[in-house]
Amino acid sequence: MGKKSEKFERFSGKGRTGTRQLLLQVLYQHQMNKDDLETLLKQSLKIKEFSRIDQDYYQILLKEVLENRDQIEEMTLKYFDRPIEQVDPIEKAIIWIAASEILFHRDVPVPVVINEAVELAKVFGAEGSYQFVNAVLDALKTDHS
């Protein structure tokens, strides 16, 4: 099984890794369909893999990202190397998740957050998107540590 086919799994992780993988997919859906928090949570509960993730952390992060998206974008936009309209929705979602963790979850080690974000970008993002994600999050970490 090649790397391409792995990209199309719903998600393979469990615990917080699976949480971030599902969040990425749900936040992508949010960008495409403009679904609200309640709709996204209801749909998430129907996914069989939902039982493998940290469900409480998932719900907290999803709510935080949706409620603070404008603030997160404002804080990260200065590190972008292109206009926000040109940033891929996958990259945006990854940055939203990781920035939320960096800003609101001091108990989660920042290197872990950045590593997980880079891995998400390598698996789900366009070629080379992990470099963009890493640069933005590294700059955010430096400014908020």
Whether 76 is in a domain gets the answer: yes
Structure-token match 């992060």, residue found: 61
List the CATH number of the domain containing 111. Answer: 1.10.940.10
Distance CA 49, CA 19 (A): 10
pLDDT in tens, the chain (145 residues): 344 434 334 556 678 999 999 999 999 999 999 999 999 999 999 888 888 899 999 999 999 999 999 999 999 999 999 999 999 999 999 999 999 999 999 899 999 999 999 999 999 999 999 999 999 999 999 887 6
Whether 2 is in a domain gets the answer: no
Two structure tokens written together for 55: 């469900």
Distance CA 27, CA 65 (A): 9
Whether 39 is in a domain gets the answer: yes
Give the structural domain span for 15.
10-143
Count: domains in the chain: 1
Whether 102 is in a domain gets the answer: yes
